[in-house]
Amino acid sequence: MSDDEGEVYAYSDDEGSDVDYAYGSDEDQDEQDHEIVNSYYEGEEFMQQNQLPEALEKMERVVGVAAERGGDDLRWCFKGLECIVMLLFKLGEHEKMLAAYERLLSYTSAVTRNESTDAINSVLDTISGATGSIVAQTYAKTLASTEGNERLHFTTMIRQAKAYLAQGDLKEVGRVIERLHQLCRNPDGSDDESKATYLMEVYALEISYCTHTCDMARMKEILPRTLKLNAAVSDPRIMGIIREEGGKLHMRQCQWSDAYSEFNEGFRAYQEAGNSRAKQCLKYAALSNILANSSINPFAATEAKVYQDDREVMAMMELRIAYDANDLPRFERTLEHKPNHILDDSFMAVYIEELRRRMREQVLLSITQPYSKMTLAHVAKELRLSREEIESLLVDLILDKRIKGQIDQIGGFVLLRPEGRSSSGKHAALARWADALQAGTGSGKCDEGDDGWAH
């Protein structure tokens, strides 16, 4: 008999029966237990030190010993294989990695459902930034293995679609979304509202897909459905995505107030879920708030005060302060300051010119408040714009009824009708002069100061 099996001695008991006693086997088992545990933790230490070949050698030893012993030790085999899969991926050994992953999936019955779910998610996290066939093959093996676990199978498909979306493979994203919808439909093809949580996740994914494909018609169709399901599902992780994308849709339609409401709700949902997108959504809420010419301060909320020391959020606060103070130079400095990363955001960049225009309108409204007439040249100088740009701003303000007045392009001035002012004295005379001018009987003259304003 080998040393590993220990020595066996035979004795007879009082009734004459033979009894075998083995010595040494317990010690050998303890030694193997120590070998498995020690090799695993040594391998983990090598992984932390980025010594991948050494870590791989240790984990292979864990799997070899644990698989040979079987029984409860298969849990160690599973844990070791999980590490081996990730190590092989990092070493670029993709074929070996897939073989090890397939073996890992075959041991899921040896561990709890939570342990198998965590291991699968760890592997999918590891390959999340990869490109090429390795991603498709890994997901294919995962989906084949998880068909008996509805929740894990569903979340794996969601992750697969997101991976394709990150790679820009929109055709595959559309294919996976259709399969997801099939899982959430009644036999008659309608949505199975008993699967409201699943439906919300699918719609959140589809909204992101519509954003990438610029399919605004489909997004308009989806958003009301999500609001209908919102009463049944209050998962902030899902609602954050839906609200943010809804805000972006309203922005594209220049519905600034609705966009602000959506971004604000998205920010709150992300904040509740602990999602880092909360900061970005707060910035978008501030942007849409200014465009909406709203008097609401988006930074006054308790949730927003968490970000009061964040540089990018502080930059948006600075924009708001400059806007409220009609401080155009400060506004421009804040926009152009590179560390603020305002112009680096591809979404915000689309609306920067609109934002600038809104700020200029605000300043123009402020400086025209005390006057009844002003020369276009002087206003252009004040705002550092061309006369044509000033005329365009004034036309918009007049058409929006935010200013009541008339532009004299030949004379080069704008005549303003004072609102809420006394009709006596100078203001009454100016009003009569304005009426005469419009009737074509006035002289078109008005006393001006050296600064180009009529007081």
Residue 396 lies in a domain: yes
How many CB atoms are closer than 10 A to CB 39?
22
Write down the pLDDT at residue 449: 45
Predicted confidence (pLDDT) at residue 355 exceeds the cutoff of 50: yes
User: In the predicted model, is pLDDT for residue 56 greater than 50?
Assistant: yes
Comparison of pLDDT for 148 and 430, the residue scoring more: 148
Strand partners, 7: 23
Domain assignment present for 65: no
Average pLDDT of span 9-27: 48
User: What's the pLDDT tens digit per position in 107-123?
Assistant: 998 899 999 999 999 99
Tell me the per-residue pLDDT of 79-111, one tens digit each, with 9 for 90 and over. 999 999 999 999 999 999 999 999 999 999 889
**Three-state DSSP class for residue 92:** coil
- Specify the pLDDT at position 223: 87
Give the dihedral of Cα atoms 139, 144, 150, 153; nearest 10 deg.
0
Instruction: Work out the mean pLDDT of the chain and round it to a whole number.
Output: 84
**Phi and psi at residue 184, to the nearest 5°:** -115, 20
Q: Flag whether pLDDT at 238 surpasses 70.
A: yes
- Kindly list the distances between the CA atom of residue 411 and the CA atoms of 175, 272, 370, 389, 433, in Å, as whole numbers in the listed order: 64, 58, 21, 17, 15
pLDDT, one tens digit per residue, over 256-292 is 999 999 999 999 999 999 999 999 999 999 999 999 9
Write the burial class of residue 197 (CB in 10 Å: 0-12 exposed, 13-18 middle, 19+ buried). middle
Residue keyed to tokens 């879920």: 273
Does some domain include residue 378? Answer: yes
27 pLDDT tier (thresholds 50, 70, 90): low
Look at residue 34 in the predicted model and tell me its pLDDT.
82
What digits encode the pLDDT tens for the residues 190-237? 888 888 889 989 999 999 999 889 898 999 999 888 877 765 667 888
pLDDT for res 25? 54
pLDDT above 90 for 9: no
Closest CA to 379 of 136, 195, 389: 389
pLDDT of residue 26: 56
412/402 Cα distance (integer angstroms) = 21
Burial 393-406 (b: 16+ CB within 10 A, else e): bbeebbeeeebebe
In this predicted structure, the answer to whether residue 432 has a pLDDT above a threshold of 70 is no
Residue 22 pLDDT grade (very low, low, confident, very high; cuts 50, 70, 90): very low
Is residue 376 assigned to a domain? yes
Rounded to the nearest 10 degrees, the angle between the axes of helix 376-383 and helix 387-399 is 100
CA distance 222 to 227: 9
Q: What is the pLDDT of residue 421?
A: 36
Average pLDDT over residues 396-416: 86
Output the domain CATH number for residue 401: 1.10.10.10
Q: Is residue 410 part of a domain?
A: yes
Please count the structural domains in the chain.
Answer: 1
How far is 43 from 55, CA to CA, in rounded Å?
4
| Spatial separation of the C-alpha atoms in residues 381 and 19, rounded to whole Å | 110
In a domain, 147, yes or no: no
* Residue 386 belongs to domain spanning: 371-419
Residue scoring higher pLDDT (21 or 309): 309
Share of the chain above pLDDT 90, in %: 51
In a domain, 408, yes or no: yes
Three-class SS of residue 8?
strand
- The C-alpha atoms of residue 214 and residue 212 are separated, in whole angstroms, by 6
Does a structural domain hold residue 197?
no
> Angle at the Cα of 403 (from 437 to 318), degrees rounded to 5?
145
pLDDT at position 21 over 50: no
* Residues 6+ positions from 240 with CB-CB distance below 8 Å: 266, 269, 270, 273, 275, 277, 278, 281
Structure confidence at residue 233 (pLDDT): 65
Closest CA to 38 of 64, 68, 58: 58
DSSP string, 256-287: HHHHHHHHHHHHHHHHHHT-THHHHHHHHHHH
Residue 33 confidence (pLDDT) above 90: no
Distance of CA 55 to the CA centre of its chain: 35
